[in-house]
């Protein structure tokens, strides 16, 4: 600025006195990969609470089955669900978790019959791949992965470790499959895990054992319990109401199942790339067929349950007809109008309604008010499908036709989906009304809910990482911390058993969670899988390095393309030194003085030569002494001679 002055006067120039600062990155934002009840699949979605998860992804899975109910003996047995993500998230929040990401690889209704195949495994590896571009994620876990078996889970774990090593800003929390629930399989489980997890990138992960036991209430539907305990026997005055609700529920389930079935999935999908562009009457016909097929899910509600006996409390027909007339009938008219207009442009076209679907397939009362479908006057599409709407309006424009079909198809899919959801909500409402009138239902529900949930530990551990990071710092080892929200462990590990878990010839340490009398259930280990490494043995050392490296890297982005000269070097060195001094003051770095805890070097003849500068390289060398945990405290006692 000074060299360009030409007008006499006084000029003010502000000069920065301090180097820029480094903003510390978050350290405990996990990504949970697994199955959810609903929500967006294969897309990392950020949530901040369990309530937000339930809003976007639904609730807990129902048990796989109810084995037995004996109310008189108060004996209830449940085969719990294999889907663990939801309860893992519960433990994450119970132990101090906050922000996290969810990657849904499928819905509860799509859970595999056979988990131990490569197709299911690939869903998890693909979910991990989706996280690559999400910079905020710092922890990766996949609690549903315990169902894959050791070999397939090992591949998923290796995949997670590889991403952590490539990005250098995240860490994997792993569950060790517990093959027996009686606590007798520790040695076999440890061997299987170590064989499967490989030997690459081990410093970027930690493993935990055994499973946790919690008493979260199960989510039961009335029909699940009714199949094992007949409420009609204990409530004879409610027989007709129970039968009425069961009929309503069966019909709603039929709609839901048909909506999710493979044929309807094909109708929901847009035309394949091979069928694009839409440029002839045959392709238009195929696309219109999709639209009518979607609407035909509700083509004839006349046979749906009616309920005059209970003031139409369980009358599904009335509600469905209302939804058809308010939401679906207008779309059917639009579809018919589209066909009518297109046929006026392309005489060879055959109307779908009249060929694939008979006009009588759609119920007169709910769809047509007693008359066949007829073209609207004026037709909405009169000026929307042709290249010359203001002239003769007789030349079809297939790009415009394709655009209008896309809009119509999307509108139908969204609307039918909304109708199905509305009926599911109606079903839930009627279920609540029914069970409120059954005096023994709360007792049965309470008895079933006393069955314990078995949950892999990764979700709780992620919550502990978040809590320790927030209260003590990422440099504090996440060990000797109690696990909240649980009532027990599936294995009672002792000192002898933990020896080979903690220190093993392969270096692949497995961190134990143990029960101590009077102290609770504690995380009793803080090692990475690289237990033989003097550099990366401890979880807090690895995660502190992730934080320092990522924070410094992002701050240094401000200096890219700055002049590679002394002033820039001084600013960079000052920025990093200030950051490390702050960490040293917080206890993250070891040393009586700051200069004993770290060093930062940058400069010509110090970290670079002329060739480096000519090639655009500014090299900064940073060294620091991380604080390591006191894993083994040795107390030496010696007897003294009496002195007085």
How far from chain centre, in Å, is Cα 30?
A: 10
Query: d(Cα 541, Cα 474) in Å, to the nearest integer?
Result: 9
Span between the terminal Cα atoms of the chain, in Å = 84
Domain that holds residue 632: 560-644
Instruction: Tell me: do 248 and 373 sit in the same domain.
Output: yes
Confidence check: pLDDT of 217 > 80: no
Q: Is the peptide bond before 587 cis (omega within 30 degrees of 0)?
A: no
Joined tokens for residue 358: 């008979």
Could you tell me if 485 and 630 lie in one domain? no
Residue 527, pLDDT > 90, answer: yes
Is 79 in the same domain as 212?
yes
15, part of any domain: no
Question: 185 and 105: one domain?
Answer: yes
Neighbouring CB atoms inside 10 A of 379's CB total: 17
Whether 364 maps to a domain, the answer reads yes
Task: Provide the H-helix boundaries in 312-440.
Answer: 316-323, 329-345, 398-435
The reply to whether 25 falls in a domain is no
Instruction: Please state the rounded mean pLDDT for residues 97-112.
Output: 93
State how far the Cα of 249 lies from the Cα of 237, in Å rounded to an integer.
20
**Mean pLDDT score, 542-560:** 93
- Mean per-residue pLDDT for 601-622? 92
Residue 211 shares a structural domain with residue 350: no
In a domain, 363, yes or no: yes
The more confident residue out of 102 and 357 is 102
Q: Is residue 619 part of a domain?
A: yes
d(CA 274, CA 259): 25
From the number of C-beta atoms within 10 Å of its C-beta (0-12, 13-18, 19+), residue 265 rates as exposed
Position 138 in a domain:
yes
pTM of the model: 0.78
> How large a percentage of the chain has pLDDT more than 70?
96
The domain boundary, picked from 437, 472, 505, lies at 437
Same domain, 188 and 92: yes
In angstroms, rounded to a whole number, what is the distance separating the alpha carbons of residues 335 and 356? 14
Same domain, 479 and 515: yes
Q: Which residue has the tokens 């019959």?
A: 113
Shared-domain flag, residues 116 and 260: no
Tokens of 29: 């934002």
- pLDDT 10s digits, 42-59: 999 999 999 999 999 998
Residue 362 has pLDDT above 60, yes or no: yes
Co-location of 390 and 487 in the same domain: no
Examine the fold and report which residue of 406, 437, 468 is the final residue of a domain before the chain moves on.
437
Output the CA torsion sign for 419, 105, 457, 548. Answer: negative
Would you say residue 254 has pLDDT above 80? yes
- The string of pLDDT tens digits covering residues 159-191 is 999 999 999 999 999 999 998 877 788 999 999
Both 473 and 407 in one domain: the answer is no
Position 153 in a domain: yes
Average pLDDT, rounded, for the chain: 89
What is the CB neighbour count within 10 angstroms for residue 178?
21
532 part of a folded domain: no
Q: How many residues does the chain have?
A: 644
* Closest to 479 measured CA to CA, from 498, 499, 493, 465: 465
- pLDDT value of residue 130: 96
**Is 168 in the same domain as 71?**
yes
The pLDDT assigned to 185 comes to 87
Please tell me whether residues 457 and 383 are part of one structural domain.
no
Overall number of domains in the chain: 3
């Amino acid at each position: 600025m000074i060299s360009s002055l030409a007008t006499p006067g006084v000029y003010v120039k502000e000069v920065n006195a301090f180097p820029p600062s480094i903003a510390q990155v978050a350290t405990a934002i996990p990504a949970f990969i697994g199955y959810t009840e609903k929500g967006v699949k294969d897309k990392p979605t950020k949530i901040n609470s369990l309530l937000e998860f339930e809003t976007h992804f639904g609730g807990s899975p129902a048990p796989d089955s109810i084995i037995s109910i004996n109310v008189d003996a108060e004996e209830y047995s449940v085969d719990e669900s294999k889907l663990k993500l939801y309860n893992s998230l519960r433990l994450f929040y119970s132990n101090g978790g906050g922000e996290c990401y969810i990657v849904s690889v499928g819905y509860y209704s799509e859970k595999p019959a056979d988990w131990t195949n490569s197709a299911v495994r690939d869903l998890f590896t693909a979910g991990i791949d989706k996280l690559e571009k999400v910079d905020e994620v710092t922890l990766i876990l996949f609690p549903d992965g315990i169902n894959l078996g050791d070999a397939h889970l090992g591949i998923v774990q290796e995949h997670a470790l590889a991403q952590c090593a490539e990005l250098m800003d995240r860490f994997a929390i792993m569950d060790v499959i517990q093959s027996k629930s009686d606590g007798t399989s520790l040695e076999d489980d440890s061997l299987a895990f170590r064989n499967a997890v490989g030997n690459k990138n081990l410093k970027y992960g930690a493993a935990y054992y055994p499973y946790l036991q919690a008493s979260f209430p199960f989510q039961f539907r009335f029909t699940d319990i009714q199949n094992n305990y007949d409420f009609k026997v204990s409530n004879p005055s409610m027989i007709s109401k129970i039968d009425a609700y069961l009929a309503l529920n069966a019909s709603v389930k039929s709609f839901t199942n048909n909506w999710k079935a493979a044929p309807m999935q094909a109708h929901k999908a847009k035309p394949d790339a091979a069928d694009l562009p839409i440029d002839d009457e045959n392709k238009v016909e195929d696309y219109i067929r999709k639209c009518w097929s979607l609407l035909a899910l509700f083509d004839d509600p006349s046979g749906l349950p009616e309920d005059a006996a209970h003031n139409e409390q369980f009358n599904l027909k009335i509600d469905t007809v209302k939804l058809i007339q308010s939401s679906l009938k207008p779309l059917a008219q639009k579809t018919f109008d589209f066909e009518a207009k297109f046929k006026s442009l392309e005489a060879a076209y055959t109307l779908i309604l009249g060929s694939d679907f008979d006009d009588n397939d759609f119920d007169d009362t709910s769809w047509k008010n007693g008359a066949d479908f007829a073209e609207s006057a004026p037709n909405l599409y009169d000026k929307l499908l042709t290249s010359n709407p203001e002239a003769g309006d007789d030349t079809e424009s297939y790009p415009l036709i394709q655009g209008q079909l896309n809009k119509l198809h999307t509108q139908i899919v969204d609307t039918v989906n909304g109708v199905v959801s509305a009926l599911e909500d109606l079903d839930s409402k009627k279920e609540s009304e029914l069970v409120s009138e059954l005096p023994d239902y709360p007792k049965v529900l309470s008895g079933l809910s006393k069955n314990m949930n078995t949950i892999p530990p990764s979700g709780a551990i992620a919550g502990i990482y978040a809590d320790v990071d927030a209260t003590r710092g990422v440099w504090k080892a996440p060990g000797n911390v109690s696990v909240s929200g649980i009532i027990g462990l599936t294995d009672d590990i002792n000192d002898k058993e933990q020896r080979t878990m903690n220190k093993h010839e392969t270096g692949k340490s497995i961190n134990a969670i143990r029960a101590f009398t009077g102290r609770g259930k504690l995380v009793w280990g803080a090692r990475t899988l690289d237990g033989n490494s003097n550099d990366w043995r401890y979880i807090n050392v690895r995660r502190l390095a992730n934080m320092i490296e990522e924070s410094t890297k992002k701050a240094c982005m401000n200096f890219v393309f700055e002049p590679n000269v002394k002033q820039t070097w001084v600013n960079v060195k000052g920025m990093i030194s200030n950051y490390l001094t702050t960490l040293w003051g917080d206890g993250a770095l070891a040393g009586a003085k700051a200069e004993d805890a770290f060093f930062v070097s940058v400069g010509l003849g110090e970290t670079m030569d002329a060739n480096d500068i000519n090639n655009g390289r500014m090299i900064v060398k940073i060294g620091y002494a991380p604080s390591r945990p006191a894993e083994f405290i040795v107390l030496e006692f010696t007897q003294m001679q009496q002195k007085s």
